[in-house]
Structures are given as structure tokens and as C-alpha cells.
Amino acid sequence: MHRVGIIPFDTRDSDVALLFVTSQTRGRWILPKGKIKPEETHIQACHREGFEEAGVKGVVLEDFPMTVVVTKQTEKGKREVPVTYYPFLVTEQVDDWPEKDRRQRHWALIEDAPRVAYREDLLPLIKQFDDLRTWITEAADRCRPERQEALTPAP
């Protein structure tokens, strides 16, 4: 079944950082994703998954959907699933969120992301995001709230 996910990110000057969460079963660093509920749009599902899995709110950059096939571990073994990810400008990160007890969060500069991301299926996605970085950050700058505290750690 097709899923949607987000690539949570923030920028500071020319730096771009991505937010990873741990998977529930094996604790590996992944990006938030999930099934679309029957009444939801892709964008609504992105907001819900971002908050449930990572405790973040923000802006979905819907002009840059990226679909990749990821390998999902199920009770019946490994299964390939298409996931459409959207860049997600994080504007708020809360300390208390629905899956806080089951997941950890980790910000990584995009240059370090390939070493953080567990799944090889995420590497082409991160590369595609990086290839589109100029346009994604321009779009993010246009929709960023005026006063925003930096969410990512100072370099």
C-alpha cells in the first residue's frame, strides 16, 4: 500500500539539516512516514505523521514530491512499499508528542545524513533532496514564519 512521508528539515544560512526518527521495531534512523487515512490528503497525512512520529509542525512543500521504494519489515518478512516524501520545513518542535516514548529524534546536517540514515533506500531520496536544495530552500524562505528560533543545533 502506498504511503506518504516527510523529509523534515531546517536551514541556517547555507546549512541544511534533516530530522531523523528511530523506527519502532529496530531503532534505526528513518524519516517519518505512514499510511494515508481514507479521508486524508497527502498534505494532511504529512502533517499528522510529522507530529505523531517526530513531534514537529511545519510547512509541506508540496511542489517537490519524491517517490521512492522502501523496504518494510513485516511479520511476513520484508516487503517493498512505494512512499511519496515531501520536504517539510519544521517551524515548531514540541517536547511532548504521541510517539515520544517509542522514538528518538536526531538532527543531522545534510552532508552527514548518508551516515545517519539506516536504509539504503533513503540514500537516493536524500541525494534527490540535496539535488533540489536550491529550489527547496528558496521555497522554504518564502513560507518561513518571520520570527523563528533556530531548531537545529548551532554548528
DSSP conformation letters of 96-140: --TTTTT--EEEEETTTHHHH---TTHHHHHHHHHHTHHHHHHHH
Around 139, how many Cα atoms within 13 Å sit in the side-chain half-sphere? 16
- Please check whether residue 35 is in contact with residue 82, taking contact to mean a CB–CB distance below 8 angstroms: no
Give the active site residues.
Answer: 52
Q: Where are the beta strands (DSSP E) in the chain?
A: 3-12, 15-22, 29-30, 33-35, 56-60, 66-74, 77-93, 105-109
